[in-house]
Structure 1
Amino acid sequence: MQGLLGTTLILLAACSLAAMATAAFRVPALLGYLSVGVVLGPSVIGVIAPGETLSFLSELGVALLLFMIGLEFSLGDFWLARRTVLMAGALQMIAVAPPLILVLMWLGQPGQSAALLGTAAAMSSTALVSRQLADQGELTTRHGRSAIAVLVFQDLASVPLLALLAIWARGESPKIEHVLLEVFGVLLLFAAAALASRRLLHGLLGWVARRGHEESFVLVSLCVVVAAAAAAHAVGVSAALGAFLAGMVLGESDFRHHMESHLRPFRDVLSGVFFVTIGLQLDAAQILSAPLAVLAWLVVLVPVKILLNTLALRATRLSALDAWRTGIALGHGGEFALLLLGTVLQQHLIPATVVQPMLVALVLSMALAPLLIRHHDVLARFLSRTGGVIQPPQAEEVEIAAQTTRYRDHVIVCGAGELGLPVSEILRHAGVAHLLLEADAQKVEAARAAGAPVFHGDASRPDTLLAAGLTHAHLVVLTFAHAQQALRIAQAIAERRPALTLWVSCRSTTAADAFRAMPNVRVYQQSFAAAIGLAEQVMSTLGMSTELIEGRISAMRRRLDSSRFPGSS
């Protein structure tokens, strides 16, 4: 008991330090957890060794991780974008996996291990890419939509891969009929889970949620994950795959976000244990003795994969610039690949001398991914110019240019969301010539239904702004929630029309200061405007006169303007 407590204390302390360090350097936490496993494992200090307890906790962590990935997978969104998903995703997998498989076979790997390693290398991190693109405000851009489409296909492709791994782990020969039978079993399990979800789980979760017992909801949610994993294991399917399918089924329910917020702490802790157990199995001496193997895999996972991704996406009629952006965003390894390789390593299905360098390179590529995605635009433009590619106009830009030839001295409103649409309505009733640019197809439809002059286009592309008449515009209004996206657009506009007036709506003081440093940019800070409006309503409720309220508000505006307080310019 004393030894177990001491081991737990060391593990928790090391993981805490690793989590803080990775957060400080803005790299994925899994890099820190793997490092903890390597350092504390048998190959370095030897404080902790793989055991049944850690193995069980890591399996539970994997189940929770894949359940959460399944929750984020929307069957409805997949069906709406099925053509894009199937075309872009299939082309990416075909362009990346087969060449890697052939090279591995040429290097002497058996067919089944080459297939597993090559396909695993083709996958990217759904969580990492979607989070980084969301932070940058690029999920609705053309390259953002393409990246998500490829990632959705990769999530679906993991089903036969996990089925193949389950067959292989049982010592059976992974023939095509065995794989098809396993996939058929998975589909039956998915159908049963969907039926149980509609008839049983939705009712149970609804009943618990209505009673407001948070602890009960957390425990029931954990029961759902474990039950799905146990059911899958009972029918001979991967437990992690069962949890993933359960997440997909419940991803369409009203409880998706509720479950996600409650289970996230458990997922983070237990999936951290999984990454630690992978680190425990890595032999530091063996890795250090084969740096060229690690470097070779890193080259495959980043530059080679970026190139193959880009070539595949060009075949989907994506522009060279957007194809490079998407290819760079996907140029790294993913969680499914870690799961596959970790399982292979645990069950000794492929020699450790082959798997370990790839695992290390996989983790390093994921550590590089946020940096690459953050600077993908600069890299993509450089690579496009290096390749001597002349960017053809997109179909959307051609359509916008054709319909806006009559516009002169107009206002371009970028974004048709909760700010852009009301601004458009007021301008329309005032008789001001204007148009809206919006990349999100659903928002475009909603704006058209409201009678707004909206065009489907990505305002972060300078060519789209030029097609919308930037050369003849009177001013531009940016209404994006993401400051980085708005800042990139503002800089692009300043390069082409330095004297053009630009109004920017932003939320944070930091963003407001960045925009104020630019000439001809006027800032509307939402928090300041909301504070002024709220204070006005409070004073009105207290019975103050209109004259007194207006005087107080005007005095506040003047004071804030003179001190350059976040608010107005």
Structure 2
Amino acid sequence: MNALLWAISILSLTLLILGFVLKRFNQPYLIAYIIAGILLGPDITGVFSNVDEIEVIGELGILLLMFFLGLEINIPNQRTLIIKPVIAQGMKVLLGFGFAYLIGYFLNLNMKSIALIAILFFFNSTAVVTEFLKKYNILTTAFGSIIFNILLLQDILLAPVLTLLNAWGGKQFTFINYILPVAVCIANFFLFKRIRHVQEIKLPKFFSKIRYDHDLQLFMGLVICMGFGLLADLVGLSSALGSFMAGIFVGRFKAFSWLEHSLASFKVFFVALFFVSIGLRLDLSYFLDHSAIVLIGTFFVLVSNSLISALIFRLLKFDWKSSWYGGALLSQTGEFGILALTIGYKTNIIPYDLYKGGLGITCLTLLFSTIWIGLLNRFLSKNQPLSDQKKIFKS
């Protein structure tokens, strides 16, 4: 017990100090979480040594984050807000494979390793991007909607990607494993379309009594959020996507208006733990021995991802300012990339060096992209802010 209290106290103190420093420079707290993970990891202070346990707990933060986003948004009526993200993500996948092939050509990698590198290009961090969209009031604009829908498409793509990786690793799949995720996505599409114009769905009087019982509110909120995430995972979709769907449905029930307040503190804590686990995964001994290749890889991913996404937004008829900002938002490798790397290594698809190098690059892109996004937003906000665009979400 003393060891646990010591670890939590040191973590809280470290996050508090780093948070004050970053607040002074108007930088996002996500940087503090990642740096805290690096400082408290086994290679420096050793306060936390079991990275996997922290990561599993931290992933609950992603579920809560997606659930909250589902509560806040409306289902878009405009067809372009659905079609443009599909086109953008399709182009991102194709260009990502192109860049991955160039890397594989120069490093003499096999096609499976090239495919895994491509996966790192077209999966971004939902947690990082949505935090910036909300912080700078862009989530409520048409531009922010397209970026957010791109992230949702990436969540949907996770199912076939994981299926492919497990198949390469020798795992057997039945026909239902391929069809069920697609069927669930189609069913949700028609269900969202049906409830799009519904302002409120009424529930039995029993649920209205929960409005005055904080304990029951808390546990019912957790059951809804985590339960939908579990169901989505069981049918082959990402658990984050399941929590987001739960948020959309629950947002139509005024009887559950208390949920956001009841779970807000949990979201902050668990999201922080998730990014702490990202910092813990950075193997400093490997990084010091291979610092040149990791830093070059990080720079290449940030620049190429920014360029790919900026060009895509420009082709979708956005102005250059919005396009470059959208490119910066989608410059990092996301949390799903870490999952893909882990599966790839455990199933012997990629070697140890590529696994460790990929983890290091992913960690650094998450860290540096937050700085890059903040600096670019400060530069662009000297002119017309992006948040002036047409709003389509709930206030």
- TM-score (norm: length of structure 1): 0.55
| Shift of residue 46, structure 1, vs aligned partner | 1.8
Secondary structure in 2 matching 1:46:
coil
CA distance in 2, matches of 1:205, 1:192: 28
Judged with a 3 Å threshold, the aligned counterparts in structure 2 of structure 1 residues 272 and 369 are, in CA distance, closer, same or farther, namely same
Please tell me the residue identity of whatever aligns with 1:101. A
CA distance in 1, matches of 2:135, 2:58: 29
Structure 1, residues 182-218: CA drift from partner, whole Å, max 9, x if none?
6326537858997xx99xx963798247743344323
Secondary structure in 1 matching 2:212:
coil
Task: Tell me whether 1:279 sits opposite 2:279 in the alignment.
Answer: yes
CA distance in 1, matches of 2:259, 2:332: 21
| Shift of residue 270, structure 1, vs aligned partner | 1.0
Secondary structure in 1 matching 2:328:
coil
CA distance in 2, matches of 1:67, 1:205: 24
Residue aligning to 1:518: none
Task: Tell me whether 1:375 sits opposite 2:379 in the alignment.
Answer: yes
Residue aligning to 2:364: 361
Please tell me the residue identity of whatever aligns with 2:359. Q
| Shift of residue 157, structure 1, vs aligned partner | 2.5
* Deviation larger for 234-243 or 223-232: 234-243
Please tell me the residue identity of whatever aligns with 1:299. F
Residue aligning to 2:239: 239
| Shift of residue 166, structure 1, vs aligned partner | 5.8
Contact 2:309–2:330 (8 Å) recurs in 1: no
Residue aligning to 1:97: 96
CA distance in 2, matches of 1:176, 1:331: 40
Contact 1:163–1:179 (8 Å) recurs in 2: no
Please tell me the residue identity of whatever aligns with 1:168. L
CA distance in 2, matches of 1:377, 1:290: 38
Residue of structure 1 aligned with 2:390, choices 424, 434, 440: 440
| Shift of residue 76, structure 1, vs aligned partner | 3.3
Structure 1, residues 78-105: CA drift from partner, whole Å, max 9, x if none?
65732343344544x2464232232243
Residue aligning to 1:10: 10
| Shift of residue 156, structure 1, vs aligned partner | 1.6
| Shift of residue 269, structure 1, vs aligned partner | 0.5
Structure 1, residues 424-481: CA drift from partner, whole Å, max 9, x if none?
xxxxxxxxxxxxxx953879xxxxxxxxxxxxxxxxxxxxxxxxxxxxxxxxxxxxxx
CA distance in 1, matches of 2:136, 2:287: 35
Contact 1:18–1:32 (8 Å) recurs in 2: yes
Task: Tell me whether 1:312 sits opposite 2:312 in the alignment.
Answer: yes
| Shift of residue 267, structure 1, vs aligned partner | 1.2
Residue aligning to 2:216: 216
Contact 1:70–1:248 (8 Å) recurs in 2: yes
Matches within 5 A, 1:554-569: none
Contact 1:84–1:149 (8 Å) recurs in 2: yes
| Shift of residue 168, structure 1, vs aligned partner | 3.2
Please tell me the residue identity of whatever aligns with 1:440. K
Please tell me the residue identity of whatever aligns with 2:182. F
Contact 1:310–1:326 (8 Å) recurs in 2: yes
Please tell me the residue identity of whatever aligns with 1:165. L
Residue aligning to 2:179: 181
CA distance in 1, matches of 2:391, 2:232: 38
Matches within 5 A, 1:462-541: none
CA distance in 2, matches of 1:120, 1:257: 37
Matches within 5 A, 1:140-159: 145-159=142-156
CA distance in 2, matches of 1:176, 1:267: 36
- TM-score (norm: length of structure 2): 0.76
Residue aligning to 1:472: none
Please tell me the residue identity of whatever aligns with 1:355. G
Residue aligning to 2:203: 203
Structure 1, residues 60-85: CA drift from partner, whole Å, max 9, x if none?
22322333344445433565732343
CA distance in 1, matches of 2:255, 2:292: 48
Judged with a 3 Å threshold, the aligned counterparts in structure 2 of structure 1 residues 217 and 182 are, in CA distance, closer, same or farther, namely same
Secondary structure in 1 matching 2:262:
helix
CA distance in 1, matches of 2:172, 2:324: 32
CA distance in 2, matches of 1:85, 1:202: 33
CA distance in 1, matches of 2:86, 2:219: 37
CA distance in 2, matches of 1:255, 1:97: 44
Please tell me the residue identity of whatever aligns with 1:283. D
Please tell me the residue identity of whatever aligns with 2:390. D
Contact 1:205–1:255 (8 Å) recurs in 2: no
Larger radius of gyration: 1
- Report the number of matched residues: 376
CA distance in 2, matches of 1:176, 1:164: 16
CA distance in 2, matches of 1:249, 1:101: 38
* Deviation larger for 127-136 or 347-356: 127-136
* Deviation larger for 150-159 or 327-336: 327-336
CA distance in 1, matches of 2:134, 2:65: 20
Secondary structure in 1 matching 2:76:
helix
Contact 2:27–2:371 (8 Å) recurs in 1: yes
Please tell me the residue identity of whatever aligns with 1:16. L
Task: Tell me whether 1:340 sits opposite 2:290 in the alignment.
Answer: no
Please tell me the residue identity of whatever aligns with 1:150. I
| Shift of residue 121, structure 1, vs aligned partner | 2.9
CA distance in 1, matches of 2:85, 2:206: 32
| Shift of residue 362, structure 1, vs aligned partner | 1.5
Structure having the higher strand fraction is 1
Residue aligning to 1:270: 270
Q: In structure 1, list runs of 5 or more residues that go unmatched.
A: 382-437, 444-569
Judged with a 3 Å threshold, the aligned counterparts in structure 2 of structure 1 residues 187 and 121 are, in CA distance, closer, same or farther, namely same
Contact 1:286–1:353 (8 Å) recurs in 2: yes
Structure 1, residues 159-200: CA drift from partner, whole Å, max 9, x if none?
122442266358446999887436326537858997xx99xx
Please tell me the residue identity of whatever aligns with 1:326. S
Q: In structure 2, list runs of 5 or more residues that go unmatched.
A: none
Judged with a 3 Å threshold, the aligned counterparts in structure 2 of structure 1 residues 314 and 213 are, in CA distance, closer, same or farther, namely same
